[in-house]
C-alpha cells in the first residue's frame, strides 16, 4: 500500500508557484498532499494563499534565530512535525544549510528561472535579458549544498523575442514555471513512491 506523498512548500514572497501547485492538486494533475507551507517572511503573500486554502502555515522569522544553524534546526523540526516526504522550494530566498540538505537528500526540489547551469543565483531573468542571449528558460532541479548546482530534473526553453521588455519576458517565464513545476514534482514522486509505513 502506497501513501500519498506529503509536501512541505517553502516560500518567501508572492507564492505564485505555490498557487500553481495548489491548483495542480485540485485539478488532479498532481497527486500529493500539501502538508504545510513554511515561510521566512511575515509579509509573504504565500502565507495568505496557504490560509485561503486551509493549508497549515508556519512562519519562521530569521530575526528570531541567533544563527543560521538554529534557523535550519527550526526548519527541520517543522518538516518532522508535518511528516514531510518532500521539500519544495517555491521562491524561498534563503539557502538551506547542510543539515537540512543532508536530512532530505534527493528530496528537495527548486525551480529556477533560467536554463541552468547558465545564470544561477538571483535576478536570473534580468541577467539573461541584459546579456541579450537568444534563449533562456526554466529549470527544475534537486537541491544540493551549492547555489543552483543540483541535478536537473526538467528544463524548458523560452526564446527571448526581439525587442521584448523585461516585464514581458518575466511574465512568459512565470507561465512556464507554473506549468513545469507540478509536472516535475509528479515525475519525481512517481519514481520514488513512499511506503505507507507511518
Q: Is 112 a catalytic residue?
A: yes
Was domain 6-191 assigned CATH 3.40.50.170? yes
Provide the residue ranges of all domains of the chain, joining segments of one domain with +: 6-191
Tens-digit pLDDT profile for residues 70-119: 999 999 999 999 999 999 999 999 999 999 999 999 999 999 999 999 99
Q: Read off the C-alpha cell for 178.
A: 507554473
Q: Write out the H or E segment, with its range, that includes residue 34.
A: strand 33-39
CB count within 10 Å of CB 73 equals 15
**Confidence at residue 158, expressed as pLDDT on a 0 to 100 scale:** 98
Strand 135-142 relative to strand 152-159: parallel, antiparallel, unpaired?
antiparallel
**Confidence at residue 194, expressed as pLDDT on a 0 to 100 scale:** 47
**Confidence at residue 195, expressed as pLDDT on a 0 to 100 scale:** 45
**Confidence at residue 192, expressed as pLDDT on a 0 to 100 scale:** 84
E strands, the chain, where?
A: 6-11, 33-39, 57-59, 86-89, 108-112, 135-142, 152-159
How far separated are the first and last CA of the chain, in Å rounded? 11
**Confidence at residue 1, expressed as pLDDT on a 0 to 100 scale:** 38
**Confidence at residue 198, expressed as pLDDT on a 0 to 100 scale:** 33
What is the dihedral angle through the alpha carbons of 81, 189, 87, 138, rounded to the nearest 10 degrees? -160
Q: Is 8 helix (H, G, I), strand (E, B) or coil?
A: strand
**Under-70 pLDDT residues of the chain:** 1-2, 193-198
Catalytic residue among 112, 123, 141, 174: 112
Amino acid at each position: 500500500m502506497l501513501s500519498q506523498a506529503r509536501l512541505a512548500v517553502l516560500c518567501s514572497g508572492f507564492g505564485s508557484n505555490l498557487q500553481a501547485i495548489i491548483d495542480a492538486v485540485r485539478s488532479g494533475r498532481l497527486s500529493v498532499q500539501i502538508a504545510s507551507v513554511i515561510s521566512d517572511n511575515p509579509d509573504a503573500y504565500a502565507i495568505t494563499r496557504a490560509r485561503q486554502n486551509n493549508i497549515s502555515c508556519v512562519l519562521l522569522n530569521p530575526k528570531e534565530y541567533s544563527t543560521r544553524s538554529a534557523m535550519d534546526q527550526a526548519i527541520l523540526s517543522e518538516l518532522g512535525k508535518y511528516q514531510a516526504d518532500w521539500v519544495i522550494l517555491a521562491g524561498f530566498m534563503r539557502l538551506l544549510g547542510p543539515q537540512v540538505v543532508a536530512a532530505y537528500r534527493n528530496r528537495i526540489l527548486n525551480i529556477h528561472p533560467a536554463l541552468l547551469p547558465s545564470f544561477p543565483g538571483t535576478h536570473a531573468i534580468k541577467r539573461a535579458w541584459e546579456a541579450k542571449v537568444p534563449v533562456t528558460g526554466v529549470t527544475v532541479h534537486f537541491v544540493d549544498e551549492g547555489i543552483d548546482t543540483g541535478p536537473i530534473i526538467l528544463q524548458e526553453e523560452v526564446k527571448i523575442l526581439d525587442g521584448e521588455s523585461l516585464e514581458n519576458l518575466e511574465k512568459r517565464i512565470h507561465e512556464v514555471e507554473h506549468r513545469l513545476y507540478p509536472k516535475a514534482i509528479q515525475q519525481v514522486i512517481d519514481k520514488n513512491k513512499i511506503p505507507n509505513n507511518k
